[in-house]
Amino acid sequence: MEYSAHEWGVVLENLIINGGISLSGEVNISGAKNAAVAIIPAALLVEGECIIENLPDISDVRVIADILKALGAEVSWLDESTLRVDATNVDTYEVDQECAGRMRASYYLLGALVSRFHKAIVPPPGGCNFGTRPIDQHLKGLQSLGCTTEVNGGVICAEGENLRGGQVYFDMVSVGATINIMLAATLAPGLTVMENAAKEPHVVDLANFLNSMGANIKGAGTDVIKIRGVERLHGGTYSIIPDQIEAGTYMFAAAATRGDVVIKNVIPKHLEAVSAKFVEMGIEVWEGDDEVRVVANKPLNRVNVKTLPYPGFPTDLQPLMVALLTTVPGTSIVTESVWDSRFQYTGELDRMGANITVDGRVAVIEGGRPLTGATVRATDLRAGAGLVVAALACEGTTTVTDIRHIDRGYERIVEKLTALGANISRNND
């Protein structure tokens, strides 16, 4: 379900980008959005105070924090990246419809509330729209833990009087289902074994958070995760990992503008799929302990790319790869194997002069034709980031509209790009 900006009282803003400038300098990466939106609901399982550090200052994080507050948790910001949550007094398992529709990750409340109350009522989540986003694997997993589930008009109800550990085999790799079942199983008596689990860094980060508060989770980061349920979790302090998709976004911005940028506060291993493709394209990538430098000062080679679950090439960087490939002479093929419909934005790149043909899950990019500035719409979060990268790379002025999507996931994007030499600003529509 998508919400309209007017409905939520959001001021419509645009990004105005005068492109054609090579980026250079250093950029600091914020905490990971997709870890944050799982770890904040996980605080519902904790008795006492959780201090969560290194949170990105983005709207998705503020929304999920507000949802916990609406449920009755004590929630306060200690500074712009540190949240204090004490959910001891939460006494409801029902999530407000308006809140849930504001983001995708509201469905993590399902696993968290089932773990805590053995019952959850969660209205349909919102978030990016790229085709159907089924939740059958979440429901199947909960059923394996002894829950009954029902979906009425999109509202998900789960009940687990006798919630206990169980064996879960996922039919496909799902980040959301892996996280939801990890949450549900943490306080469920007995052993839960999840097979064909997602291995994304944010899955590991959630497991580390829960373990640091007293959970017993082993194998996160592999495709078999074993969870021995514990009676309770205690409070503590935890710092979120850096956002590998934000880091990747600045790697693409550097490459597309043929720049030289050091991306700091990253875990280079999380970026290996991108680094390997960059090297194949003739882009230099240097990895330090917690930084990556990208230098693109030679002619680039065309490549083919297929998105895959981690550690494969991330679907969330697919629009950025397509934007980069429009600047590279030759024919490149990008195959989207995670989502059904994640190429809608290519029409926007075509308005800038790109030549991209999409057939189902495959996009063929005839690159190297110079793009020119245009007015384009951010159709979703990462599509918006892809348009920003294309706009930075091409001559002329581009207006990217509907940037509330971009603000859901990128902290201070205008300031960070400006510090790298970009000519970018916001204006109200």
For residue 376, list its beta bridge partners: 400
Q: Quick one: which of 116, 382, 404, 405 contacts ligand EPZ (CB under 6 A)?
A: 382
42 binds ligand EPZ (CB under 6 A): no
316 binds ligand EPZ (CB under 6 A): yes
Distant-in-sequence, close-in-space partners of 359: CB < 8 Å, separation ≥ 6:
none
For ligand EPZ, give the closer residue by CB, 198 or 424: 198
158 binds ligand EPZ (CB under 6 A): no
Residue 259 vs residues 251, 253, 268, 414: alpha-carbon distances, Å: 10, 8, 19, 17
Q: Quick one: which of 81, 144, 149, 174 contacts ligand EPZ (CB under 6 A)?
A: 174
DSSP letter string, 212-250 = HTT-EEE-BTBSEEEEE--S-EEEEEEEPPB-HHHHHHH
Phi and psi, residue 179, nearest 5°: -65, -45
Q: Among positive and negative, which fits the CA dihedral 337, 342, 344, 345?
A: negative
CB of 47 to ligand EPZ, least distance (A): 26
CB of 142 to ligand EPZ, least distance (A): 11
Catalytic status, residue 128: yes
Question: In 3D, which of 347, 335, 341, 428 has the Cα closest to residue 386?
Answer: 347
For ligand EPZ, give the closer residue by CB, 205 or 291: 205
CB of 423 to ligand EPZ, least distance (A): 26
Q: Are strands 119-122 and 82-86 parallel, antiparallel or unpaired?
A: unpaired
104 binds ligand EPZ (CB under 6 A): yes
121 binds ligand EPZ (CB under 6 A): no
Which amino acid is present at 303?
V
Q: Quick one: which of 15, 37, 184, 247 contacts ligand EPZ (CB under 6 A)?
A: 37
Q: What is the 3-state secondary structure (H, E, C) of 115-174?
A: HHHCEEEECCCCCCCCCCCCCHHHHHHHHHCCCEEEEECCEEEEECCCCCCCEEECCCCC
Which amino acid is present at 172?
M
Taking the C-alpha atoms of residue 260 and residue 393, their distance in angstroms, rounded to an integer, is 13
102 binds ligand EPZ (CB under 6 A): no
Catalytic residue among 128, 147, 157, 394: 128
177 binds ligand EPZ (CB under 6 A): yes
With CB under 6 A as the contact rule, which of the stretches 153-161, 172-180, 295-303, 370-378 interacts with ligand EPZ?
A: 172-180
Residues 194-213 that bind ligand EPZ (CB under 6 A): 198
Residue 44 vs residues 37, 94, 99, 160, 380: alpha-carbon distances, Å: 12, 13, 16, 17, 29
CB of 91 to ligand EPZ, least distance (A): 27
381 binds ligand EPZ (CB under 6 A): yes
For residue 74, list its beta bridge partners: 86
Residue nearest to ligand EPZ according to CB distances in the complex: 176
271 binds ligand EPZ (CB under 6 A): no
Catalytic center residues: 128
Q: Under the rule (CB under 6 A), what is the footprint of ligand EPZ?
A: 33-34, 37, 104-105, 128, 133-138, 172, 174-177, 198, 315-316, 338-339, 381-382, 409
